[in-house]
Amino acid sequence: MGDEVVIEQNGVELSNVETGTGKEKIVIEEDESADDRPAWDNKIQYLLSQIGFAVGLGNVWRFPYLCQRNGGGAFLIPYLIMLVIEGIPIFHLELAIGQRIRKGSIDVWNQINPLLGGVGVAMVAVSFLVALYYNVIIGWCAFYFFNSFQAPLPWATCPGNGTVMECEKSSPTAYFWYREALDTSESIEDGGGINWKMMLCIFTAWLIVCVCMIKGIKSSGKAIYFTATFPYVVLLIFFFRGVTLEGAGDGLAYLFIPRVEKLADPIVWLEAATQIFFSLSVAFGGLISFSSYNPRKNNCTRDAVVVAVINSGTSIFASVVIFSVLGFKALTDSRKCLQEFQDLMEDKVPGFASNNMTVTASNYMDLWGTYNTTDTAIRDFNFGYCSKDGNLNNAVGGTGLAFVVFTEAMNQFYPLEMGPFWSILFFLMLANLGLSSMFGTLEGVITPLRDAGIWKWRKEFLVVLLCVVCFLIGLIFAQYSGSYWLDIFNDYSGTFPLLIIAFFENIAIVYVYGLKRLSDDLEYMTGSRPNLYWKVTWLFLTPLSMLVIFGATIYTEATRTITYKGWDSALGQVVDKGPYPWWGEMMCYVLICLPSLFIPIVFVLRLTGLMPYRGETLKAKQARTVQRGAISKQNLVTDSLKMRFSDLKAHSTEDSDSVKAMLP
């Protein structure tokens, strides 16, 4: 084994370099205590922040819907496959580069290669656009939360004792959501001014976010102990309540019994890949920002697997909770519908009651076929909710699940007096899921702006300014047409651009930065080099899967007309509103293209020298380190030879004196 030399860079100790082996290896080994970068208080705080960022509203109100619609238990097959070949590898890459370079997304890509600086800018743009509307949903949750402190709940019954036809034609929960909460307009073209109730709730949501993030990870890291763990407590409570409800087994069976024929549908695989990709919150920049506050000596490989598995496990567990409750609601609605038909038959058909005839789930259509000519009321009876399986088949996701369907199910929990308790828990859970994701989303904006030197003042001022700007722009969602605008942002700002960013991210790290250099970094940070699984996915499977999703998404969008749905107050239901107006369609395309355009724009500006990068790239740092290492090695050899020559000379003098002393 050769001698070892300690190389220093800017007064900071770097790696030990073995001399005389011919295989000198330089890896920057900075002392994090020498810089003033904030750091997590402990590993638990970091993991909770990453889990809170990854686990969001989509785990509760989108995954169960996708699972039910795409084959039940069979959907888990493509979902888990995509988790392995797409989700975990990209997640690992982001944690690794953030921890290695310890900068926000803009500076990370500038240091990897200045030509790729646009990838970081695109990440910031996506995070900003998503933050605009995501916090609005937290504001909606706040509105329902505040209205839950009354009994009976305001959405338990229709107002006006049967005189409000909009409510009578729909349901109390649907009426409260579309009329009392949103007071939604008939179309996106009818802005209708500002809904002051929603404006106050959105302001409250931004105020909470601002207070929690005012000190960076020092304050948001404290809040995350509650915001990341409380949803699991509530889910556990709802789990035990849900599985004990009558009809829960029907809901769970409908969810998990595999319909394997669905696996032949390419759309199922596309939706599984898309859900995995977006639910892990990759390509936002928040994962990079959070991991940049880690020490370099941290096992980011294990962190990536742990957080990704917890995220997917949460989705599956939330599905069990949601569909146990929806099974109960499907059974309750079916019984209510059959009872209404029973009452109608007893009223319109002579002898029906006296002959003890009973309407059941198996005979109601036969009875209708026999007696539908007896009376127009029987002929026109609405059997929409009489089929239990039909009710489950019409399960919805998104805001329809949270604010209408699930809310209606909670109205029927026994005892009925406990309705406010369940409502408070549910909407507090949703708000916390949103808040923990918002912390990561805004860190994807704040950290890069500060690390890149774009914002040079105190971080507190940037947090306040960002929250104020987002609130003011977000007033578009407080209009009476605000829900239509939120659908546009939700469908187009945080979907397609992320595919493009993540694809360039994978190519840049593995093929531009280099798999060997990445492996060296991971060996230094984690103690082991990436195994065959990581190499195969990074090199081939992950980019190929994203290309397939990219192509399928382009084809899907190019072959369909962009339409939207909205509330029809006359019918008391959601209906197709047709295509967006031209300016609404243009907004969709702007949200798709705007973040992605930063990638080629920065590339061209850097290539032509119009926007030169004045910092030091990672490659330049390593080259300088290697050069100084070589000089140190040469000096070490010279000093070693001098020391050995001096020792030999000293020994020679001592031996000469000894010989002289022995002579007579």
- Does residue 279 have a known ligand-binding role? yes
Identify the residue whose tokens are 């930065």. 513
What element of type H or E holds 5? strand 4-9
Give the burial string for 238-268 (b: 16+ CB within 10 Å, else e).
Answer: bbebbbebebbebbbebbbeeeeebbeeeeb
- Does residue 433 have a known ligand-binding role? yes
In this structure, the strands spanning 563-568 and 573-579 are antiparallel
Instruction: Give the whole-angstrom CA distance, residue 153 versus residue 419.
Output: 7
- Kindly provide the residue ranges of all beta strands, DSSP E only, lying in 178-242, ordered along the sequence: none
Q: Is 237 exposed, middle or buried (0-12, 13-18, 19+ CB in 10 A)?
A: middle
Helix axes 88-101, 300-348, angle to 10 degrees: 140
Distance from the Cα of residue 528 to its chain's centroid: 29
Q: Is 81 exposed, middle or buried (0-12, 13-18, 19+ CB in 10 A)?
A: middle
End-to-end CA gap in the chain: 47
- Does residue 55 have a known ligand-binding role? yes
- Does residue 54 have a known ligand-binding role? yes
What element of type H or E holds 16? strand 12-18
What element of type H or E holds 578? strand 573-579
Output phi, psi for 378, to 5 deg. Answer: -70, -40
Identify the residue whose tokens are 């959105």. 202
- Does residue 192 have a known ligand-binding role? no
Q: Is 638 exposed, middle or buried (0-12, 13-18, 19+ CB in 10 A)?
A: exposed
Residue type at 271 in one-letter notation = E
Quick one: three-class SS letters along 160-188? HHHCCHHHHHCCHHHHHHHHHHCCCCCCC
Peptide bond into 612 cis (omega under 30): no
DSSP label at 328? H
Residue from 111, 108, 81 nearest 96 by CA: 108
Instruction: Give the whole-angstrom CA distance, residue 9 versus residue 172.
Output: 68
Binding residues: 52, 54-55, 59, 279, 311, 433, 437
Binding residues for Na(+): 52, 54-55, 59, 279, 311, 433, 437
